[in-house]
Amino acid sequence: MENNEQSKDKRLIMLRIAYVSLLILLLSLVWAWMGSVILFLSIFSFGIPLIFIALPIAGLMMFNLKSNKAIFWGFICSLTPFVYLLPSAGYFPLERVSDSAGHVEQVSSGLSIAILLTSVVFFVVSTMSFFYCRSAYELK
């Protein structure tokens, strides 16, 4: 029984490390993709886009195993990158606004592939974490 508890804790730690590292990578890639637009919009809207971009950080609360509600809301927070990645899914390579007039330029193929692959792996890890945290909370 004690060995099972240790393996459960190790899995939870590994999922947490994977979640945090993929989140940092995803946020840095999104910043490289749309950082100037996010900053420009944040100046005129009191930082709301920055809060929205950083909302997946609140997804870490699902690893605390405090309640089912916290696990659920942590999972919902981790899904917020879907909102700004789904409209861009129709374009490859991804595009970004290059100036205030609304002109668009294409991002390099390498950055586009990195953003898409990182987001897919992040969503898979987030979903795995959600189901694992729910099962760990119910066994607690």
Query: What are the domain boundaries of the chain?
Result: 2-81+90-139
- What are the tens digits of pLDDT across the range 82-117? 887 877 777 777 777 777 676 778 778 888 888 888
Instruction: State the pTM of this model.
Output: 0.81
Task: Kindly report the backbone phi and psi dihedral angles of residue 104, in degrees, each rounded to the nearest multiple of 5, phi listed first.
Answer: -115, 140
The answer to whether residue 6 scores a pLDDT higher than 80 is no
109 and 33 Cβ atoms separated by less than 8 Å: no
Spell out the residues 6+ positions from residue 119 whose beta carbon is closer than 8 angstroms to its own. 26, 81, 85
In the predicted structure, residue 1 carries a pLDDT above the cut 60: no
pLDDT in tens, 44-85: 888 888 888 888 888 888 887 777 888 888 888 888 888 878
